[in-house]
Amino acid sequence: MHSRCLYGDVFGASSCECQKLVRNSLQRIAEEGQGVLVYLHESGPGFRIDRSGHGEPRMVTHGRDFMHYKGEAGQRQLQHEHGIGAQILSDLGLHTIRLLTNHPRKIVALEGFGIEIVDQIPVGH
């Protein structure tokens, strides 16, 4: 599951590794001869206006560590996306998966959809 990042995915921003993650994931899927890239458009981290520096405000993307940003409730902001992605995987009939990720962790939301992660494989750089 990949959250859209306009600057990284389309324009190749150097402040994040999004384009590289998509490219490497698709390459791995092609090498395996099977797989799914779930591209989540509506919930990506996007960009913000940074007013913290001296001078004019500037537009910045999420940066390399966006997965660690916390919302107001202290929960990681991207946690809710697993339910949307799980619905897509379930609709595709996938119930046992190998997950390409550079952030191995237990993803509870998938279990509620009858999806079991049997392996977590680094995407690579």
CATH number, domain of 93, equals: 3.40.50.10990
pLDDT of residue 48: 62
Distance from C-alpha of 58 to C-alpha of 29, rounded to nearest angstrom: 37
Distance from C-alpha of 78 to C-alpha of 34, rounded to nearest angstrom: 26
Q: How far is CA 89 from CA 21, 80, 85, in A?
A: 19, 15, 6
pTM of the model as a whole: 0.69
Tally of CB atoms within 10 A around 75: 10
Tell the residue number behind the tokens 């680094």, with chain if given.
Answer: 122
Picking from 100, 116, 98, the residue whose alpha carbon sits closest to that of residue 108 is 116
pLDDT of residue 75: 47
Residue-number span of the structural domain to which 13 is assigned: 2-121
User: What stretches in the chain show pLDDT beneath 70?
Assistant: 42-49, 58-82, 125
